Amino acid sequence: MTTEIRRAAERYRGGDAAAGITSWHAFSFGPHYDPDNLRFGALIACNEEQLAPGAGFDEHPHSHTEIVTWVVEGELTHRDSTGHETLVRPGDLQHLSAADGVRHVERNDTGAPLTFVQMWLTPLRPGGTPRYELVRGVTDSTPYAVPEAGARLHVRRLAAGERTKVPDTAYVYIHVVRGEVRLDEDRLGPGDAARITDAKGLEVVGVTAAELLLWEMQAG
C-alpha cells in the first residue's frame, strides 16, 4: 500500500480572472502539462471551479469522458445538447457521460458566488450514447456508481472525532472539500488530496467537522 499526499497549494491555477472564473487543477490540465501527473486510477481531472455571479463556461464539447460535479456553494446552471437544463445545488450530484460526444454550458446565473468540484474519469470503453443523471440530496450511506469507469464515489460528512473506513481497493482518491481530517499521521485540509494504491485497513478521522469526496476505483 502506498499513500501520496497532494496539498491544495500544489494544484495548478487556471481559469480566466477577467471573466470571473478561477480554477484549481489537481492533475495536468490545459496549458499546465505535467507528464508525471496525468491521472490516478480512472481519474484524470479534479478541478475546483469558482465562478463569480454571471460568469460561466460557454458551450463546449466533451467525448469519452465521465464528468461528475459536486457543488460546494451556490447554484450551477447546466444545459447540454441532449436537451437537459438543470440547476445543481449543494448536496446534489451531477453525472454527464459524454460517450461519443456531447456539448454543454455551465454557468452561475445567480447573484452569489458559485464553487464546485468537477471530476473527470476515463471510461473503460470509448463510445456509446451520452447519458445525464442528477441525484438530489446525496447521502453518506449510498455510494454513487459510475460503471462506465469502474468507479464509485462516496460522500463523507464527518463530525469531529468521527471515523470512516477507506475502501480496500486498487485505487482510492480522497479530496477534502471542507474541514480537517487525519489519515494515518497526515492531516488534510480543504483542497488537500490523498492518492492511495492498494488501500487496506485505513480510516479517515474528522479533526473538525469535514466533508470528503472519496473515489473507489478498480482500473488504472
* Residue 203 to residue 166: CA distance in whole angstroms: 5
pLDDT digits (tens, 9 = 90+) for 7-29: 999 999 999 999 999 999 999 99
pLDDT digits (tens, 9 = 90+) for 111-163: 999 999 999 999 999 889 999 999 999 989 889 999 999 999 999 999 999 99
Grid coordinates 464528468 are at which residue? 67
Using DSSP's 3-state secondary structure scheme, residue 148 falls into helix
* Residue 208 to residue 80: CA distance in whole angstroms: 38
Percent of the chain surpassing pLDDT 90? 92
